[in-house]
Amino acid sequence: MPVRGGLDLGGTKIQAVVFDPAGERVLGQAREPTPHEGGPPAVVDALVDALRGAAAQAGMTTDRLDGIGVGSPGETDPSAGTVAHANNLPDWDEPFALAAALSERCGAPATIGNDVDVATQAEFEFGAGREASSLLGVFWGTGVGGGLILDGEPWHGRGAAGEIGHMVVKIDGARCACGRRGCLEAYAGRRQMETRARRLTDEGRKTSLFKIMRERGRENLSSGVWYRAAAENDELALEIIERAVQALGAGVASAVNLLDVEVVVIGGGLGVRFGAPMAGRILQAMHPHLFFDRRPPTVRVAALGDLGGAIGAALLSERVHPLTRA
Ligand SMILES: [Zn+2]
């Protein structure tokens, strides 16, 4: 049975799966923390460990895999197999030949892709968008990433399409991490939400956010911390989340006005954590901005949850190293 390895390389964790595309089954999965230092070689070690763990759970070794795919942040060059300017990874600026390094260590051909693109593809093929021919993936986490499938094919534009996090939702609005103003991410990105929570706390507002963070041994406001605070009806948390939802509504509706996709899939750490009720709230927030408001798209939570990125990466290896199946 031809099976594939998939790796989702994130800024805080690495998720590995061994995936059987024909049976649509995850045969093994494992997680490793992303190293904070040691540069690309340390990250390669962690990727190999994670994949070995997933393979062991599937009852095999990595050299039996028919291909390995990696969904990576930063600038990915699939033809060269390199990743550059990965700001969330340790000392990773110059292009590093990640595919070659993994291939050698794991004994199977490796392919590199963009993390958001592969997660979008996975939801399209096996997840919340499987009956659709067009899809917008919105990955609501530390930042806000976007992926597009149009007429059944991924749309990359000239290589930079899908940056829904940098749709302008307010002219001269809040400062974004990209240096511009009024981007969706400046309101809805988890990093920016945390900055706002800290500022309002400094100004004297009360919140349980940072108490929950410390209780959980976290260094920043993770999706779980936001979820807990919201569940406890923390006023400040609810206010910042509502501000994020309104921005998502405006940004996603604007994208839908342009592209008229059938399905919008809400993924990412916050999207998956808040789940289906949040998809409903985002659709509600989109409504006033939809031009054809009597025919809104379907808005769903990512069906593959945390594993979408790794499953999508496994599919990447299948597209690049296709198998002839009897
Ligand atoms: Zn921006």
pLDDT single digits (tens) 271-309: 999 999 999 999 999 999 999 999 999 999 999 988 999
Could you tell me the distance, in angstroms and rounded to a whole number, from the CA of residue 182 to the centre of ligand 1?
7
SS3 for the chain, per residue?
Answer: CCCEEEEEECCCEEEEEEEECCCCEEEEEEEEECCCCCHHHHHHHHHHHHHHHHHHHCCCCHHHCCCEEEEECCEEECCCCEEECCCCCCCCCCCECHHHHHHHHHCCCEEEEEHHHHHHHHHHHHCCCCCCCCEEEEEECCCEEEEEEECCEECCCCCCCCCHHHCECCCCCCECCCCCECECHHHHCHHHHHHHHHHHHHCCCCCCHHHHHHHCCCCCCCHHHHHHHHHCCCHHHHHHHHHHHHHHHHHHHHHHHHHCCCEEEEEHHHHHHHHHHHHHHHHHHHHHHCCCCCCCCEEEECCCHHHHHHHHHHHHHHHHCCCCCC
Could you tell me the distance, in angstroms and rounded to a whole number, from the CA of residue 140 to the centre of ligand 1?
14
Is the model's pLDDT at 88 over the cut of 50? yes
pLDDT single digits (tens) 215-258: 999 999 999 999 999 999 999 999 999 999 999 999 999 999 99
Bridge-based pairing state of the strands 135-140 and 263-267: parallel
Could you tell me the distance, in angstroms and rounded to a whole number, from the CA of residue 57 to the centre of ligand 1?
40
User: How distant is the alpha carbon of residue 225 from its chain centre?
Assistant: 18
Could you tell me the distance, in angstroms and rounded to a whole number, from the CA of residue 315 to the centre of ligand 1?
30
pLDDT single digits (tens) 107-152: 999 999 999 999 999 999 999 999 999 999 999 998 999 999 999 9
Could you tell me the distance, in angstroms and rounded to a whole number, from the CA of residue 183 to the centre of ligand 1?
5
Could you tell me the distance, in angstroms and rounded to a whole number, from the CA of residue 123 to the centre of ligand 1?
25
- Poorest-pLDDT segment among 47-56, 85-94, 176-185, 289-298: 85-94
Could you tell me the distance, in angstroms and rounded to a whole number, from the CA of residue 172 to the centre of ligand 1?
12
Share of the chain above pLDDT 70, in %: 97
Could you tell me the distance, in angstroms and rounded to a whole number, from the CA of residue 293 to the centre of ligand 1?
27
Could you tell me the distance, in angstroms and rounded to a whole number, from the CA of residue 61 to the centre of ligand 1?
42
Average pLDDT over residues 261-277: 96
Q: How confident is the model at residue 320 (pLDDT cuts 50, 70, 90)?
A: low
Sheet of 68-72, strands arranged across: 25-33, 13-20, 4-9, 68-72, 110-114
Could you tell me the distance, in angstroms and rounded to a whole number, from the CA of residue 147 to the centre of ligand 1?
16
Could you tell me the distance, in angstroms and rounded to a whole number, from the CA of residue 187 to the centre of ligand 1?
10
Could you tell me the distance, in angstroms and rounded to a whole number, from the CA of residue 223 to the centre of ligand 1?
21
Could you tell me the distance, in angstroms and rounded to a whole number, from the CA of residue 49 to the centre of ligand 1?
34
Could you tell me the distance, in angstroms and rounded to a whole number, from the CA of residue 13 to the centre of ligand 1?
24
Could you tell me the distance, in angstroms and rounded to a whole number, from the CA of residue 144 to the centre of ligand 1?
9
Is the model's pLDDT at 321 over the cut of 60? no
